[in-house]
Structure 1
């Protein structure tokens, strides 16, 4: 599958890039150097431009294989990277897809994640024909909880999983097309 671009209102969703015209790698390194990002997105270590380049290439390969749709959330006039949103697990069938997102620390608290996630979820239901999309986050990640609620996800359960040396409690959410608000809530 080729990457699809999405106009998400105040933001533009596009493929991550590392080329002569647009290079997301420095912003990715900055984001993953942030303590909060490292706390909640513990499955990636991106310490330098080479790691960020491998990350961008991985996302491009996942698009090609049809296993993940991943978008750079960007400012529409400059292309500046504000975060990332994705739909993963596409190879698992219509009810196995999980949504995820992160926001660059300099752009948190502005509705970036909820606006982008809502656009990605609408794409999943409309263009991909998905019937249910899941979302999960660690207990205590209040920002992720707010994003899920704003986008119409409903809490469906919890589990305990091991991430490296630590055991964490994950909260599981899901949404269907009829649960999504027409527009994500912006307050709260």
Structure 2
């Protein structure tokens, strides 16, 4: 596909989308940028994006995607509470996963993949159940890590993104593929920004 043809597809896709979809995408981008900057306000924009997305998916009768977004909504509300109140009303520090948390991540990915693959294979007409399941289950694990303010969330989310991009192109969803590429780049910067935050937290302060 030539560059000009790709740009034309993006322009056409944008024209055909509703304002609800555009706002959902816009709030989603703002959410990722704010989370990369370690700002708790990222959850407010994330929740707005998810609610709008659910509304669009309901009109399109994409019920499996609605279930996925309901999970995102629950994790966003949990993340907002965890960041704000779990650490004795102090800002929850950025940290790395321990062994137990990696075990939970593995359980989310493997368990989520198995459930989604079975659901997509037996109860939907999906022609890409394997890729669809791994994209979603990896994103689930990444969202859980984001809620726990673990730096590895960016690795998991980008693992999901890197599979999602060719999948979206295959489905000719060029607007969402472009958005995912943008989110992939933002996540890279988010990882290195959080890495600097961890290093700053380790520097002792002197009175």
Structure 1 or 2: more strand by fraction: 1
Structure with larger RCO (C-alpha < 8 A, sep 6+): 2
Q: Same fold (TM over 0.5)?
A: no
Structure 1 or 2: more helix by fraction: 2
TM-score by length of 1: 0.30
